Amino acid sequence: MGSTIGNLETISDALRLVREWANDEQEELWFRGHSDETFKLIPSVLRQGPGEGASSIDEAGLLRGFVREFPEMRRDHHAELEWLMLMQHYRVPTRLLDWTTNFLVAVYFCASEQEAKDGIVYVLKAKELLLYERYEQIVTTQINASTWVDLAKRVVAAEEDLMGLGKCYLLPPILSSRSPPYDVSTGHLRLAPFESLRWVYPPPNPVGLLPPEGGGMEKIGDLSCVVAVRPPKLNSRLIAQHGAFTLHGGKFLDGTKVIDFRPLEQCAPSNVLAAIRVPANSKKRLQQEVRASGVYEATLFPEMEYRGKEIRRQNTKP
């Protein structure tokens, strides 16, 4: 679990807390600011289902629709991850979370909104998640899947490719005899969470559905892992905000969670993720401090509309 290391009253005090926690001046740290401390570290496309903002989000449809609407962007955007970064830029739900390598940028986003609420700034030791960079393939292969069978085929193929040998077998509840594999009224395959993704070498009897009892290595955690991503600087906003991303595993189909996941603050150990609380009564002062340090809306959003807004602010008296 992540740990809370103190309150953010002033920039200088917060930087001291960060240095003491990191205990290494060479450590690569990423930061993320939430204006509401109750907001969880879950990307937008995974905020669906009961009690969330959307009952169902068609992730594969979002990607297909976005690529179809912006064919002119295909010159610079090729892989799924590059398209996700562009979608994130335009507030389309993705499985990415924005981070920054600049502490002041995170403080700006925490302090600039919801002034009546306590906020939080997260600190992440990025290299701990960069160790899982090779698992990008496992996570991104989940994006384009729009049916349960398609998802099963994709994740098995990706895991086999990653391991380089042997075979993988999916063991959802329907193959574990816990429930009939088909809805008796419709004949359709039931949507059910994946219970297991097991890598087996040597392969079991090809006529059997299940690997040998007790055999193999459990890989289900690969599907819900979180990967740190250093993005290509494909737009001016990413450059201005010193942007970085975490890429999150987990999957919904038709509003049903079929690959489990947890918020990053609930699964990252305390030596990898830390939190600094930002009391609501500190936000005004922090806004002034980060602005005096050269971090404000027009520097973080370099598009013409925001720069024009700043020119208007500088030349207008209230």
Do 208 and 72 share a structural domain? no
Q: At what angle do helices 103-111 and 11-22 cross, to 10 degrees?
A: 130
CB atoms within 10 A of CB 178: 10
Cβ atoms 248, 158 nearer than 8 A: no
pTM to 2 decimal places: 0.85
Do 138 and 46 share a structural domain? no
**Mean pLDDT on 296-304:** 84
**What's the pLDDT tens digit per position in 5-27?**
889 888 998 999 999 999 877 78
Do 149 and 70 share a structural domain? no
Do 102 and 46 share a structural domain? yes
Confidence band, pLDDT 50/70/90 cuts, at residue 122: very high
pLDDT of 177 reads 42
**Mean pLDDT on 72-85:** 82
Is residue 39, in this structure, part of any structural domain at all?
yes
Q: Which residues are CB-neighbours of 263 under 8 A, at least 6 positions away?
A: 40, 41, 42
Encoding tokens for residue 198?
A: 């097991």
Question: Could you tell me the sign of the dihedral formed by the alpha carbons of 249, 259, 274, 47, in that order?
Answer: positive
The boundaries of the domain holding residue 60 are 3-132+226-252+263-286
CB atoms within 10 A of CB 152: 17
**pLDDT of residue 91 exceeding 70:** yes
Do 119 and 17 share a structural domain? yes
Is residue 115, in this structure, part of any structural domain at all?
yes
CA torsion angle for 264, 265, 266, 271 (degrees, to 10)?
Answer: 100
**Mean pLDDT on 161-187:** 56
- Chain Cα centroid distance, residue 179: 32
Is residue 308, in this structure, part of any structural domain at all?
no
Confidence band, pLDDT 50/70/90 cuts, at residue 103: very high
Which of 224, 243, 277 delimits the end of a domain?
224
Tell me how many domains the chain contains: 2
Is residue 199, in this structure, part of any structural domain at all?
yes
Euclidean distance between CA atoms 241 and 30, whole angstroms: 12
Is residue 96, in this structure, part of any structural domain at all?
yes
DSSP 191: P
Do 106 and 64 share a structural domain? yes
Do 195 and 143 share a structural domain? yes
Which residue in 125, 123, 154 sits closest to 138, CA to CA? Answer: 154
Do 90 and 9 share a structural domain? yes
Do 232 and 117 share a structural domain? yes
Phi, psi of 227 (to 5 degrees): -115, 130
Is residue 312, in this structure, part of any structural domain at all?
no
Is residue 282, in this structure, part of any structural domain at all?
yes
Do 119 and 33 share a structural domain? yes
Is residue 64, in this structure, part of any structural domain at all?
yes
3-state class (DSSP) for residue 151: helix
Do 77 and 18 share a structural domain? yes
Do 215 and 180 share a structural domain? yes
Which residue in 115, 114, 116, 126 sits closest to 32, CA to CA? Answer: 126
DSSP 247: E
